[in-house]
Amino acid sequence: MQLIGSLTSPFVRKVRIVAAEKFIEYELVIDTPWSEDTRVPEFNPLGKVPVWIMEDGKTLFDSRVIVEYLEHVSPVGHLLPKDARPRIAVKRWEALADGVCDAAALVFVERKRAADKQDPEWVKRQMAKIAAGLNMMSDDLGNQNWCTGEFFCLADVAVGCALGYLEFRFPEIDWRRQHSNLSELFDRMMQRPAFKETVPVA
Ligand SMILES: N[C@@H](CCC(=O)N[C@@H](CS)C(=O)NCC(=O)O)C(=O)O
């Protein structure tokens, strides 16, 4: 099995962490969808990473589908509850964390445009989503050890990838000082080998 992705994408990191936590082996094929020689559109018509290639050559995307698949193929280290209600609660955390990543990635791309082509209102709108997303994460986490309570799960992986992406691309967002519970959660996650081994690199 292969995973196509970049070393900076928080969505690719989420898949890598889930695979590592579940001891699933695969080959990582590095491909940056923004580069001219990218092959990503051959595997995903949307031109986005991550893409997972299964043993039969069929492809899976996006990251939420891939992590569901990984949960399904390996019983080791469950990251998603089986029952519908707690499962949906975890998926809600994932949607929130991924949404923060979507907004952050849009700002990152916008800021790469020539200064006179950037739209400050658009950037402001996305930055507001990041701030509101962080507020909700912090409120919902409260004083729990992990996002959904006592057990580490996919919700924590997704939130960890979002916080790691902000730390990597947006050092000016002081989420650690604004939300000390998220800061503690992130430090707790960074103890895990799967997180340490996937820190984004430019
Ligand atoms: N919802 C998708 C988002 C994937 C995504 O936006 N990936 C970015 C990299 S961080 C990408 O490939 N962007 C290329 C593009 O938008 O053309 C997922 O969860 O996999």
pTM value > 0.85: yes
Which segments of the chain belong to CATH 1.20.1050.10? Answer: 84-192
CA of 51 to the centre of ligand 1 (A): 10
CA of 137 to the centre of ligand 1 (A): 22
Domain 84-192 has CATH 1.20.1050.10: yes
Using a pLDDT cut of 70, give the percent of the chain over it: 100
Average predicted confidence (pLDDT) for the chain: 97
What DSSP line would sit under the chain, residue for residue?
A: -EEEE-SS-HHHHHHHHHHHHTT---EEEE--TTSTT--HHHH-TT--S-EEE-TTS-EE-SHHHHHHHHHHH--SS--S-SSHHHHHHHHHHHHHHHHHHHHHHHHHHHHHS-GGG--HHHHHHHHHHHHHHHHHHHHHHTT-SBTTBSS--HHHHHHHHHHHHHHHH-TTS-HHHH-HHHHHHHHHHTTSHHHHTT----
pLDDT at 134 over 90: yes
Nearest partner of 79 among 22, 40, 160, 10, judged by Cα:
22
Q: What residues form DSSP beta bridges with 3?
A: 28, 52
Pocket test for ligand 1, best of 14, 16, 48, 67 (most atoms within 8 A of CB): 48
Atom of ligand 1 nearest to the CA of 105: 10
Q: In the predicted model, what is the mean pLDDT of residues 151-160? A: 98
pLDDT the model gives residue 202? 86
For 41-87, the pLDDT digits (tens) are: 999 999 999 999 999 999 999 999 999 999 999 989 999 999 999 99
Q: In the predicted model, what is the mean pLDDT of residues 156-178? A: 98
- The better pLDDT of the pair 150, 147 is held by 147
Atom of ligand 1 nearest to the CA of 6: 9
pLDDT the model gives residue 75? 86
Which segments of the chain belong to CATH 3.40.30.10? Answer: 2-73
Domain 2-73: which CATH number of 3.30.420.40, 3.40.50.11540, 3.40.30.10, 3.20.20.10: 3.40.30.10
